[in-house]
Every structure is written in C-alpha cells, then in structure tokens.
Amino acid sequence: MRIEEALLEAALPLARGKVLSRVFIGLGYTAVKLSSGWCGLAYTLFEPRCCDYLPPEVSFQHRPADLVLRHLLSDHPLERSVALATANAILNSRELPVLEGDVLELVRPHPEDQVAMVGHFEPLVRKLSKRVKSLWIFEKGERLGPGLLPETEMPVFLPQATLVFVTSVTILNRTLEDILEQVRRAREVVLLGPSTPLAPEVFGDLPVSLLSGVRVKDPEKILAGVAEAKGFRGLKSALEKVNLRV
C-alpha cells in the first residue's frame, strides 16, 4: 500500500460527519479548518509543468472531509495539498504520546555521524554542521545553492548515511518511498516539517523512526497568515512543534 493510500485509510474513519468550513491555499502553505474546529497545515505544492490552477469544477469549502481526503490520490498537486492539510487536521488533533523539545535531543547526533538531509532545513543545518562528520543536503534543481547537492546524488550518499532527515513535502510530490528505499544503515530516519502527519500507523512498515511535525494552537492566526502568504517564521507562533515515535 502506498503512503497516500495508507494516509487515506487512517484518516477516513475520523473524517466522517465533518466538513471543511474554511480553506486557504497560500503561496507557501495550505490551511484547512474543519467543522470540528480542528485545523491542519500542509505545504502548497505548485508544479507549473503540470497545471497552474484548480479545475473550475473542483471546490473544497463546505465539502465533506471524507470526500476531500480522497484527493490524496489525485494527480493534481494542489488537490493533494488540500487533502494532506485535511488529513493533518484530523490525525494531528488526536490524543497522542507526543514528545516535546528539539528533534536533535531525541536523535542525539554523534561526532562520527554521516547525516543526509532531504530538503534544506537551515536551523538544523546550523546546529548539525559542527557536530557531525559529514552533512549532505539535497534539494531540487530550482532550489540548488552553495553547499547543496542535487537530488540525483542521493543514491550515492543516502546508503552511507547514519542519520537521515527527510522533508514531509516528499509525501506530496510522491518521492518519499523511493528515498526511503535508498536508506541502508541509518539508525534514525526523521520525517519532518509542517506537512508531517502524526500517524505512526502509516509509517510502521517503512524505515521511519520519528515524526516531527506541528499542531495548530491558533486556527484563526494560521488561516490569516496563510491567506497573507506567510512562511513558517510568520506562522510558528500559532503552532506547537511536536515529535512522535513510530
């Protein structure tokens, strides 16, 4: 079962009877608020080569959450973004044995670690760069910059990595499973970022050991921030960072 199918299966029973009361698709993030009051966030995946806008017949506001979740299987990146935000509103609002604190306190990097990071997380890079033996950071071609490696280099370095961090945007662009297949010797694999579903049942058969995501503390502030194209720094005061073991 693919990850998007497992996510759908996990969220569907909790979605029934709920509707999307508000939907905002911003430049950086997509936010959804449900009739239950739950709010979820996901990266806005925009792929101009595929399609620019949502089709005229597609509308999400006031639609049943269980129907919106089915867009996790869609070919349209924006539909998947709304569906993942909906899944996160549902799954991340549950009572879970979450762990607070910095993700690095949980994975405890060693001086001899060789670290692979899929997606550039600058705060983590600053903390890790002087604490580990090697740090390989992979980005897509349009985001490449000094010190970053193209994603085509992952097959060379990922099998060597002892600690791996992967952006949860890879769920949306459907590259996560291919990335995880290249992990060979990592003692910890962390899926992280605001798009992360706190759903250990989805990742139990995969080499993911820790989920590092967010919960929405202030839905109105999140919706307003997303509507004004705020990035993570502009949203984080309305979020709670949490971690969950798989």
Reported as a single tens digit per residue, the pLDDT across 177-212 is: 999 999 999 999 999 999 999 999 999 999 999 999
| Residues 203 and 117 placed together within one structural domain of the fold | yes
| Residues 201 and 132 placed together within one structural domain of the fold | yes
pLDDT tens sequence across 130-164: 899 999 999 986 566 667 999 999 999 999 999 99
For residue 64, give the 3-state DSSP assignment: strand
Task: List the structure tokens of 111.
Answer: 């001086």
| Residues 118 and 202 placed together within one structural domain of the fold | yes
| Residues 9 and 81 placed together within one structural domain of the fold | yes
Task: List the structure tokens of 225.
Answer: 């921030």
| Residues 112 and 200 placed together within one structural domain of the fold | yes
Per this entry, what is the length of the chain? Answer: 246
Going by pLDDT thresholds of 50, 70 and 90, the confidence category of residue 54 is confident
pLDDT of amino acid 48: 65
Q: What is the pTM of this model?
A: 0.94
Q: Sheet of 149-150: strands edge to edge? A: 149-150, 134-139, 114-118, 163-167, 188-192, 210-216, 239-245
| Residues 159 and 132 placed together within one structural domain of the fold | yes
Nearest to 115 by CA among 57, 158, 68, 61: 158
| Residues 87 and 132 placed together within one structural domain of the fold | no
| Residues 170 and 72 placed together within one structural domain of the fold | no
| Residues 84 and 33 placed together within one structural domain of the fold | yes
- CA-CA distance, 209 to 188, in Å (whole number)? 6
Residue found by looking up tokens 């503390």 in the block: 217
| Residues 73 and 118 placed together within one structural domain of the fold | no
CATH number at residue 146: 3.40.50.11590
Structural domain containing residue 126: 103-212
| Residues 54 and 111 placed together within one structural domain of the fold | no
CATH number at residue 56: 3.30.390.100
Tally of domains in the chain: 2
Nearest to 165 by CA among 197, 208, 203: 208
